[in-house]
Amino acid sequence: MKERITITLDSELIKQIDKRIDGNIIKNRSQQIEVLLAKDLGTYRPEKAVILVGGKGTRLRPLTYKIPKCMIDVHGKTLAEHLFDLMKKYGIRDIILSAGYMKEKVKEYYGDGSKFGVNITYVEEDEALGTAGPLRLAKKYLNDSFIVTNGDELKNFNIPRMFRLHKRKDALATIALTTVTDPSQYGVARLSGSRILEFVEKPKKEKAPSNLINAGFYIMEPEVVDMIPNGFSMLEKDVFPKLAREGRLRGFPTAGQWFDIGNFERYEIAKKKWEGVDPHGEIE
User: DSSP secondary structure string, 215-269?
Assistant: EEEEEE-GGGGGGSPSSS--IIIIIHHHHHHHT-EEEEE--S-EEE--SHHHHHH
Q: Which of 202, 205, 207, 273 is catalytic?
A: 202
Reported for 134-137, long-range contacts at CB under 8 A and 24+ positions apart, including other chains, are 134/50, 134/52, 134/54, 134/98, 135/50, 135/220, 135/224, 135/225, 135/228, 136/225, 136/228, 136/230, 137/98
Reported for 43-46, long-range contacts at CB under 8 A and 24+ positions apart, including other chains, are 44/160, 44/163, 44/164, 45/90, 45/91, 45/92, 45/159, 45/160, 45/163, 46/92, 46/144, 46/145, 46/146, 46/147, 46/159, 46/163, 46/219
Active site residue 66: no
Catalytic residue positions? 202
